A and B are shown apart, each in its own frame.
Chain A
């Protein structure tokens, strides 16, 4: 996540689940941890047993709230206002951990004199281009140091050149469109210089002072009016956090998609990062930010991505505007301070693992074989391309977009307009059967006999029928052994894609077309296992990388840019160290300390808590005995402690890099954030984020509330997917007066393909429902266990009504806001069926990562929804009443 990546240098959770038990306070927000991660939650309960305070901030009173010390009901999507007020509370009461903040963050950096804040521009930062809906971040940059090095001076001149060119063309905008910020998964955004610093924090343009001014209007009273949280509740949270932070105590944060899935999702995470940095809680035991991923290997799916904008290890996909050569591809980052400065060796090693012997220094290591991006090619934009007939073939692999993706109708319309579709899953999910029984068949919007999509359903192997590794939520790779063979036609993805690759290559064999070279030169030979697929461990070994002698490497520091090493994912280098599958290590926890370094393998370099150099004071001694973790052993002249130090092992705390040093050599002894190009954690992001250097509260694209903080209502850089199938409810509309939010139940899993097909889970939560407050039930005449119809401008769905005090009516000033809870696990197939709440959700995306906003507005009425063609007519009537132009009427 760029929220974490731009703040700290890596996009992964900074800590691990077990370490939560060392926290003195845990704030869970944007996550319903007890329900979505019950087994991980044992460590929260462990902390509580040891006396920690547990706070849950959430729109709903959930099973997490039930065991928390304090539940704070909040209006969905208003988290930045709440967290920003906590930042303000810390800054205006001098409650920050000053020594930590000065030494380890960019609080002291002085920002460009042309920078203007939202205070001055009514909710916008300087550099906004209203036509493009984008920022040019040039004025957000660090002010150069008083005395520049030759290198820095050269860079300054280059920047001015670039700036001139940008004004002439639009290259800059395109890099933004390519979700460049997501490539900070392991390697921060590259600043041009470490910059001018004022460690007294008095300079009016230093980050600390800018931050103070930016958050000054985020008061407890504002929190009441924006979030619906009473000042007294707010104060209790503020006191708990500040009381439990500092030298002796630490506070941990946990979040999940309750933050990610917003049009300001990355910035919500950023606000938590700022707060945790001010409180000095990053890199320390019992501290950190625990990003709770929702699927077995969602962390792995970004580390070794199947994402359009990045390659393994968060190397950016080349952008046609900037990257037409290997040199140009790595230029932005190469040579910068920190380990990201060695990007060329990571990039070349990846190309070597892709194209093997064909990749040589003479041909730029086959750089040209990489396809280039030219903007946004994310899933929702691609679905739009399907609807418009520009994308014709689609692989859907262990995923159910017809139910699990937002605006399900768009997904189904897209799939109905393909030439061919391959679906691989365990069960016949809705994405495989939409052409015969999807909701649009019922309404007549689609007709089976007129859908030309050729559909292949290929049965998949389950997790026990194949060997392989998942990367779980704390960046840990854990290997699964194969228990049984897949039944019938079932195959693993490994077997299928290997086989498909072989067959495609066979068809192109002998081709002299330059287009086919990347496929024909591809290193696609793997030792075969008993079932004729590639030996899974051989693939892991390729990911790990090999040296000039062909032996497995043990660390990414061994990678070279001369083509002598190959590595499929540099951050995973070491997982096959000593020719052994380190992810397969299973030394029982009772034979180890709590860090349990010999269970699985964690990237990077098996470090369990990231940035752990910060667990020691600048002089290298532990901040306190109680929070001792990693420290400088002055005698041995090495960092030592409970974990693998996240630092250059022998770099003394007083080390000052030589002028002109590059890469790891440029990391100072007091720079714990070794992936950042300035070694500091970023309270203020001088670049790397599309929507501003500091988090700012904006309303969701659909909101019943006028933004009380600024004239700017919503994220000015949000991405709206423009399609007739994706109309937007107007804000403040009386036609759609209520807020809805979607979520998971413990008893089910995401789009339900893995849970509502199982009797034991289905019986525990057998039907879709909506949760409403007693006040809303009375207002709309909803009966407990009766039916309700929920309407947005996309569609209407029905669900049974649960009236419960767990849903609060929130008071914002003189008005109430009602929130409707919608678990989203159901669809048309499975043991029990029902309408899919994701069909209600609009596609407004976070501009950094193109993740959708799961909050929207709606109406709710008692009774079942209209059937057949009456349904779209009913929804159209709502649109008409709300003044939404129909397709074709748009200007």
Chain B
């Protein structure tokens, strides 16, 4: 089971972003979506969940076609966190997270909705932002609130677009760690678009490298995070160190400067 995407084609007007793209993602695993800017990562994330319109193809989650569900049904199955969002002024952190429960609400939040929302806020240690307006939070704080919103949707499919792009190192590790934990615990299908290859190597189980409107390579770290693959996709010379249990990717072998320093 899990997510099965078949022959997905997406175009904006006449420009085809990608054509007949197929891949699978398993339950309980985090899939990293990688590639240069403009490779179509965001478009793919949106198309998979039906938020963006696909020209053709299908996307099935545990056998059910995501494109044939009503918006509300789908919101109970798939949650999406955009990289940036403009929220109206005056929405507090707690209210923003509460919106993740909208697909489940009739007229107002139930006791269960409240418990969920405040449970997540505590789990992510976001108590301090609960009653502060979103527009006064920093980018990284806001991203965490949005991830909390996605988690209270209790999705089976979690789609995150650059979730840690505005976060400091500590929060990157905290949030990605939590995402991996929830994914394993609840058997979610999680897809994360991510630029930092080291972070991806640390927290993701499988990798999907996009290039020129297609999938360049996909699989486990040792198949995708290789020196040749990074050279081909990014045009960057990198050296890959094997340190059990993961790989560390370095830029510029001469000077020995790492891309970033992910130590736990």
A binds B: no
Interface residues of A (CB under 8 A from B): none
Chain B residues within CB distance 8 Å of chain A: none
